[in-house]
Structure 1
Amino acid sequence: MRPSDLAREHGISTQAVRNYERDGFLPPAERTPSGYRLYTEVHAAALRAFLSLIPAYGHAAGGQIMNALHRDDLNDALLIIDRGHHQLLRDRETLDAVREAVDHLTAEWEATTAPSTTPATRTIGELAHQLRVTPATLRNWEDAGILTPARDPATGHRSYRAADIRDAEFAHLLRRGGYLLDHIATVVQQVRTAGDTETLSAALDDWQHKLTTQGLAMLHASTQLSHYLTLRNRTAA
């Protein structure tokens, strides 16, 4: 096969095929006396495997997997794959935790933002007591971008409004679940940006769809990778 034969199947350029070989994502091709590359079905299978790895694990990880295979380090390739699956599981657990938090806090959220209700505020000590954490913990959450309390212009004291209290309760729930502060900050920002439960619910559904799509991509990639390894080993035997 020529580079154009491999490229045509995937709608990519022949230069991309050459670059993938240069970067070790494909096994080295043999050359004709005049210097033209000769690709085989093994190279075609390697290209299918690499391209299937991208939506499953990302371009960088996909390249690392193929590089590991081509230096005959199967364990390293499987370790990268395992890390990808672990990350997907963590993302699913985070999504489940956010859904649980939304269900738990929706009633209070809507009550505190209802037109007939004057949202109560809390001092840092009052909120810390409510959550059974220390004021230092709330200050750490603020440093991480999780909380953005207002400040009294005269005294500089923090004042936690209804939205701040909601964000703190989300953070407290996720922290108990073992999530890191930077991860919690991302989740709380999604809640803050959504602005209402309907928008947040739609955002969570979209997140769920992305995780499902990635999981299916992993299944497809495992099939392509297994086929490539079988073909490669059979050719080498």
Structure 2
Amino acid sequence: MRKPSSGASRAIRGSVLAHEAGISVQQVRNYEQAGLLPRATRTAAGYREFDESHRRALIAARALVRAYGWDGAVTILAAVHRDDRQTAVAQVDRAHAQLDRERERIQRALQAFEVVVTHPLDTDPRMSAALDQMARQGTHLRIGQLAALLGVRTSTLRFWEQAGLIRPGRERATGYRVFDIGAARDAHLVRLLREGNFPTTIIRAALDEMHSSPDGRPDRVGAELSRRNAQLHERSWARLRADAALVAYLDWRDGQNT
């Protein structure tokens, strides 16, 4: 275990650390107990004694908690304080890789909804007419009828069903597949995105987004995805700032041990 040099030994009251960080004294204690701060020494009476190492660790900890969440920050700084920087760096790498995967998913989903918005159902007269009739008469489409409207094979619709992309109902008497308006719209969306060479994972995500939207409008879903993308951008910058705070803290620790 590295020990700070005498340059870090000047005592700092917990209330001062709390005031500087904008948190409570109890939160400072919680940070120390979780490993976000180095272990504090104790007076003869059992009171914690903090010093410059705790002040600098707290600066890094606050940035890391905001950017990585409590558990992620604890993993990183607890590893630092037990001199296990490999674990700390691995956690940082995993978190950045997760953001990258999420960014790619959102970008692909945005591209998918651009396709949907520019190819709405009302530009397909046969499909639009069929859906209008279903709405008026309360009827359903059988698999052959829907396949003909979409210009695909019935086996293709069965494959999409097996992949979890569409969920037809069943006639009670015959057990035949039947598609209500929602299922037919889903099949239309799947066909568009398959023609755009989107992978099944993105198509499924697009359908989930449509189903979670109050009105299911592609333009509104696209707007929500754009909002999430902006939030992701802010999270990325927050992590970069937290990484800078972590490096500054690590450099200071290294300087105390030279």
1:13 is aligned to 2:24: yes
Aligned partner of 1:153 in structure 2 is 172
SS of the residue aligned with 2:119?
helix
Is the Cα–Cα contact under 8 Å of residues 76 and 87 in structure 2 kept in the other structure? yes
Is the Cα–Cα contact under 8 Å of residues 88 and 211 in structure 1 kept in the other structure? yes
SS of the residue aligned with 2:190?
helix
Is the Cα–Cα contact under 8 Å of residues 175 and 184 in structure 1 kept in the other structure? no
Shift of 1:69: 1.0
Is the Cα–Cα contact under 8 Å of residues 65 and 76 in structure 1 kept in the other structure? yes
SS of the residue aligned with 2:130?
coil
Shift of 1:88: 0.6
Alignment of 1:191-206 (within 5 A): 191-194=210-213, 195-206=216-227
Is the Cα–Cα contact under 8 Å of residues 49 and 224 in structure 1 kept in the other structure? yes
Deviates more, 1:39-48 or 1:204-213: 39-48
Deviates more, 1:204-213 or 1:27-36: 27-36
Equivalent residues, number: 230
C-alpha separation between the residues in 2 aligned to 1:10 and 1:128? 63
Larger radius of gyration: 2
Aligned partner of 2:185 in structure 1 is 163
Is the Cα–Cα contact under 8 Å of residues 147 and 167 in structure 1 kept in the other structure? no
Shift of 1:137: 5.1
Aligned partner of 2:78 in structure 1 is 67
1:123 is aligned to 2:143: yes
Query: Structure 2 length as normaliser, TM-score?
Result: 0.75
List alignment gaps of at least 5 residues for structure 1.
Answer: none
C-alpha separation between the residues in 2 aligned to 1:62 and 1:131? 52
Q: CA-to-partner distance for each residue in 1:169-192, whole Å, 9 max, x for gaps?
A: 48758995474xxx8655422222
C-alpha separation between the residues in 2 aligned to 1:25 and 1:186? 37
Deviates more, 1:216-225 or 1:147-156: 147-156
Task: Please report the RMSD computed on the Cα atoms of aligned residues, expressed in angstroms.
Answer: 3.3
C-alpha separation between the residues in 2 aligned to 1:78 and 1:3? 29
C-alpha separation between the residues in 1 aligned to 2:154 and 2:20? 58
Is the Cα–Cα contact under 8 Å of residues 151 and 158 in structure 1 kept in the other structure? yes
Identify if the C-alpha distance between structure 1 residues 132 and 83 changes in structure 2 by more than 3 Å, giving closer, same or farther. Answer: farther
Aligned partner of 1:103 in structure 2 is 114
SS of the residue aligned with 1:159?
strand
SS of the residue aligned with 2:83?
coil
SS of the residue aligned with 2:120?
helix
Query: Structure 1 length as normaliser, TM-score?
Result: 0.81
Give me the identity figure in percent. 31
Identify if the C-alpha distance between structure 1 residues 209 and 97 changes in structure 2 by more than 3 Å, giving closer, same or farther. Answer: same
C-alpha separation between the residues in 1 aligned to 2:159 and 2:236? 39
Q: Which amino acid aligns with 1:193?
A: S
Alignment of 1:1-237 (within 5 A): 1-111=12-122, 117-119=129-131, 121=141, 123=143, 126=147, 129=152, 135-136=158-159, 138-141=161-164, 146-160=165-179, 161-169=183-191, 177=199, 179=201, 185-194=204-213, 195-237=216-258
Q: CA-to-partner distance for each residue in 1:142-178, whole Å, 9 max, x for gaps?
A: xxxx533333333333334332214534875899547
Deviates more, 1:109-118 or 1:184-193: 109-118
Shift of 1:203: 0.4
Q: Which amino acid aligns with 2:211?
A: R
